[in-house]
Structure 1
Amino acid sequence: MMPKRLSDSIADDIMSMIAVEKRFLPGDKLPNENELSEELDISRTTLREAIRILVTNGILEIRRGKGTYVKEDIDVNNIESFSFLADAKINAKDLYEMRLIFEPEAAYYATIRASDTELKRILEYGRRIEQKIKHNEDRTELEQKFHQSIVKATHNEFMEKLMPVIYQAIDKGVILSNKKEMAIKDTINDHSMMMDFMKNRNPEGAKSAMKIHILHAMKELGIE
């Protein structure tokens, strides 16, 4: 485990002010930077970093010219301590690196080797994911099937055995990307680019598109 950064600990402290002490409720404004950094005995830079972490994870929001607020729509009783998210990120970093090494090559070989039926299946899953995203429905299972069908089409049994590891990364990614608009837009664009290349049997294109897709996900999840 990586040592915990001070900003992560402070993010935890602010979380417990919200979730445990109920000092700030959904919709409440946080004290200004000077007050809060003094109370927590930290620099304003560290406080800003902690706030950024909580904004990224959908707990706080910054309203321009007004200050920092606890988001209206969070369910205080279901917030796990922030360290859960920090752990998820550390594991996700390793898992996403694995995806980065593994999946662009899988897309490359699948584009060359997929039978017409397999290719049709991959494209169908891609289309269904797009529908799920547009209707704001959970897409975890379909994402897994999409990536699994690509790996299956490599006709490499060893690659298939590695898939459960990749699933974990996809699950974690969906946890962390919950409501990120940008991540969702990227997913749609990346998928359609990948599907175009695969449909046209362009292995280099498919490989690049998969790489971009995973790099986008890593960027959005803050796990570069």
Structure 2
Amino acid sequence: MLQHAPRASLSNAAADGIRAEIANGRWAVGTRIPIEPQLAQMLGVSRGTVREAVKTLVSGGLLEVRQGSGTYVRSDVDASASLQKLRRASLRDQFELRCALEAEAARLAALRHTAGDLQQLRTLLERRGRAEDAGGAAGFVDRDLAFHLAIVGMSGNLALVETCRFVTGYIRETIAATAAIELPEPDEAAHRAIVEAIASRDPERAAATVRAFMAHISKALASATP
């Protein structure tokens, strides 16, 4: 029998119980989970609570409801739980992730970009401006993020694009952090160097330029980490 859910946050606890059964391999990907009354009995909650828990896990991509057949395990990776773990990562970890994603994106962009892509990137850099410009800190973060995500789009790699979309809010927080605390913010020249490296169609130069771009921030964060 599954461990009974506590009274507080019953739906969340029921969802956690189902997650645990999937994680420990009792319900493998592709198998049908017990029907609603059985789940309610196993979890010690009402059928309504089970329905809410299942909806949560369907939204997270863990379960799939097949009309007339039942509810099946779609994946053993809970995207919503993974995102929460990403958001709890240290600022240093966040920038290391950004560096890895954006260096590879720039490398691919150098190989695959079109003339139109490059013009768009230069336009976004001009719009980015400075933190002191109109729109305040929030507006600056939006413009900076648009520039960086455009590079990812230029990579032509759907998996990379979707990964970055998944962590867009997470990346936004890392950019905002450079304004919120005393971290070195790369200037316009550093951003322009990335554009020119991509324009050169030299993939290794493009990747190295992004890594150099991130190096000062990474060094500052390493010094601040106990």
The Cα of 1:160 is off from its aligned counterpart by: 0.7
Q: Contact (CA 8 Å) 2:108, 2:155: kept in 1 or not?
A: yes
Aligned residue for 2:195? 195
Work out whether residues 106 and 151 of structure 1, in 8 Å CA contact, stay in contact via their aligned partners in 2: yes
Amino acid at match of 1:216: H
Contact 1:176 1:221 in 2 (8 A): no
CA 1:175–1:197 in 2, change beyond 3 Å: closer, same or farther?
Answer: closer
Q: Aligned letter for 2:108?
A: Y
- Cα shift at 1:157: 0.7
Cα distance in 2 for residues equivalent to 1:179 and 1:98: 19
Matches within 5 A, 1:1-224: 90-129=89-128, 131-133=129-131, 135=133, 137-138=136-137, 139-178=140-179, 183-184=184-185, 186-221=186-221
Q: CA deviation at 1:209?
A: 1.0
Asked whether the 8 Å contact 1:110–1:153 carries over to 2, the reply is yes
Q: Does the CA-based 8 Å contact 2:92-2:221 persist in structure 1?
A: no
CA RMSD of aligned residues (A): 2.8
Within 2, Cα distance between the matches of 1:165 and 1:91? 18
Q: TM-score, normalised by structure 2?
A: 0.51
Structure 1: runs of 5+ lacking an equivalent:
1-87
For 1:114 and 1:141, locate their aligned partners in 2 and report how far apart those are by CA, in whole Å. 23
Q: Identify if the C-alpha distance between structure 1 residues 90 and 182 changes in structure 2 by more than 3 Å, giving closer, same or farther.
A: closer
User: Post-superposition shift, 1:110?
Assistant: 0.5
> In the alignment, residue 149 of structure 2 is paired with which amino acid?
Q
How far apart are 1:208 and its partner, in Å?
0.8
**Deviation sequence 1:98-118 (CA, Å, 0-9, x none):** 222221111011111011111
State the match for 2:78 in structure 1. Answer: none
Q: Provide the aligned length of Structure 1 versus Structure 2.
A: 136
Q: Please, which runs of 5 or more residues in structure 2 have no aligned partner? A: 1-86
> Which is greater in Rg?
2
The alignment's TM-score, normalised by the length of structure 1, stands at 0.51
1:169 is displaced (CA, Å) by 4.1
Note if contact 1:177-1:220 (Cα within 8 Å) is conserved in structure 2: no
Q: By how many angstroms is 1:166 displaced?
A: 4.4
